[in-house]
Chain A
């Protein structure tokens, strides 16, 4: 059958659908030009957003650096140092120069990406887990449960992220709690997540409350579907979009927060390689060797920007009000 014929047949069906209530003649889909789901619509919109491409390019470069730092360090070992090169300025062979210890600075900065990524992703996963579980329970059950969980979140809100994490990381090593007493990336990530999950929780909660009152949830309830089924099949898939946006931006924010904690001396400890440690070490010689602060700061800023830009683009793409 040719396309034209098919079109004609469908048109015929369309006419009959009305007069016979469509017993055997299906009505044609008049919106045939739009055959895409919400996600593919979002993807189409993302593709046209230069902000997204900029963010995604930086993000991917950052990801590659974290996965294979040896390639980007041009094969130089960050721990192979020679004091003779201390604070040497950038050159054609050593693009970022040398640090105080005389180690290749490019290699150090590049190797620092991995810790940032591990902490950023691990922390955001915990934030997401806490946020979604607590937010979904609070929003779905409401009443006393909601009141209790929301007040707990408020208590955490009262403690600023950095201050809370600072205290926890100070006290952590003296306790016997498995991850916290190590002072490794896991402890830093956990500390950041514990004081940073509340916004995600509030977001999920408000989304769940909004979706909960929709007719399709009522329909599922009326057919006798269980709470778990309603939550997993109907509410969460429709509540997830803003959380996704928030998560993307939060990765960037958490990476910056990690650098801050480390800079303050409670995050990662030497001999770990981290941008926060590099900035901290570099500040003493900011007059004689400004590049020691400049390069890690620059890379850190670009990384955070990458995630924030991707999150912004994602928000525009997922918000149906942005599209007509």
Chain B
């Protein structure tokens, strides 16, 4: 895969070379009452040290499910990983023993969630919960673990950390709780941090603080950051590279500047023109038609074709590139840009 080969924006530190995390052709299904739901349908991406990869998608695009598969926190059943590899430091996390997985996932890859309150245990103090990471993985004593916890809380800029270390989660505000989650996630110096909608539940001023913190921590530690979000603005301000997901597939991938500056997939293009701007009143919005796809019944051919203003069906279509019949593969359109559209060149205007 070529994301790693695309040049990083200027000023972006790149520790090491080659990807740390490599996801290859990941497929996840859910068995439900209403049949098989294909949540992730062949997703591949790589994350290098110091890189911020944004996975952009709407609800039901499979962006969170793929992250949960990496973390091994999918409920199986109903979920089932039907194919794919998740390579981390040369090992396939899907084939190693559960004991091995536990060793890798705690210190190697960690994750923060949208809802910090329900991710924290309400009956333990935050200091105890942060310290538990050190006790469980590094065998530290209670006292040392607590000292480390205070240090970490300082690092995630929780004011008066030494006094608040014994407070319980409900005594913190939403933004502070997310900081506690971040402290737990970075406790063991992970090489990859997956942030699943980390600021969606937060107000915009707090969101700015938290994103700032994440960027600073990344600069200090050189970890790879996978940012899962539906917010184009957050992607633009924080990420180096972006993978746009739709109906369980990556439909476009490249640097944020390229993808947002000149989309190669009609879906990305539609997203860009359907959101209003804060810096100008703008004219009438140009929405994407129709409704998001039903994953139990994904349209044939290109999953986006029923909503696509540029689709070609019938006589218009080129042979083998019929939007309602042929599934477009994710292919290199121009150097550094991949898109899963039969007519990306037209969309791009090259």
Residues of B within 8 A of A323 (CB): 32-33
Interface positions of B from 149 to 175, Cβ below 8 Å from A: none
Interface positions of B from 19 to 41, Cβ below 8 Å from A: 30, 32-35
Q: What are the interface flags for A168-211 relative to B under an 8 Å C-beta threshold, 1 for contact and 0 otherwise? A: 00000000000000000000000000000000000000000000
Is there a chain B Cβ closer than 8 Å to A151's Cβ?
no
A27→B290 contact, CB < 8 A? yes
Nearest CB in chain B: distance from A37 CB, A:
14
Q: What are the interface flags for A18-33 relative to B under an 8 Å C-beta threshold, 1 for contact and 0 otherwise? A: 1100000001101111
Nearest CB in chain B: distance from A109 CB, A:
41
Residues of B within 8 A of A44 (CB): 33
Residues on B lying within 8 angstroms of A by beta carbon are: 30, 32-35, 78, 286-294, 296-297, 306-309
Determine which of A18, A30, A324 lies in contact with B294 in the assembled complex, contact meaning CB atoms within 8 Å.
A30
Nearest CB in chain B: distance from A271 CB, A:
53
New A-B contacts (14) at CB < 8 Å, excluding given A19-B286, A30-B292: A14-B290, A14-B291, A14-B306, A15-B289, A15-B290, A15-B306, A18-B289, A27-B291, A28-B290, A28-B291, A30-B294, A33-B296, A324-B30, A324-B78
Nearest-neighbor residue (CB-CB) of A44 within chain B: B33
A11→B306 contact, CB < 8 A? yes
CA distance A30 to B296 in the complex (A): 10
With known contacts A15-B308, A15-B309, A30–B291 Cβ distance under 8 A: yes
Residues of B within 8 A of A17 (CB): 289-290
Residues of A within 8 A of B294 (CB): 30-31, 33
Interface positions of A from 1 to 47, Cβ below 8 Å from B: 11, 14-19, 27-28, 30-34, 41, 44-45
Residues of A within 8 A of B35 (CB): 33
Nearest CB in chain A: distance from B285 CB, A:
10
Interface size on A, residues (CB 8 A): 19
Nearest CB in chain A: distance from B292 CB, A:
7
B288→A45 contact, CB < 8 A? no
Q: Name 7 interchain pairs, CB-CB below 8 A, sorted by A.
A: A11-B306, A15-B308, A17-B289, A30-B290, A30-B292, A30-B293, A33-B35
Nearest CB in chain B: distance from A21 CB, A:
8
Residues of A within 8 A of B309 (CB): 15, 19
Nearest CB in chain A: distance from B275 CB, A:
14
A33→B34 contact, CB < 8 A? yes
Residue with the greatest number of chain A CB neighbours at <10 A, chosen from B35, B78, B308, B309: B309
The 7 A-B pairs at the shortest CB distance, nearest first, are namely: A18-B289, A14-B290, A15-B289, A18-B287, A30-B291, A324-B32, A11-B306
Nearest-neighbor residue (CB-CB) of A16 within chain B: B289
Residues of A within 8 A of B288 (CB): 18
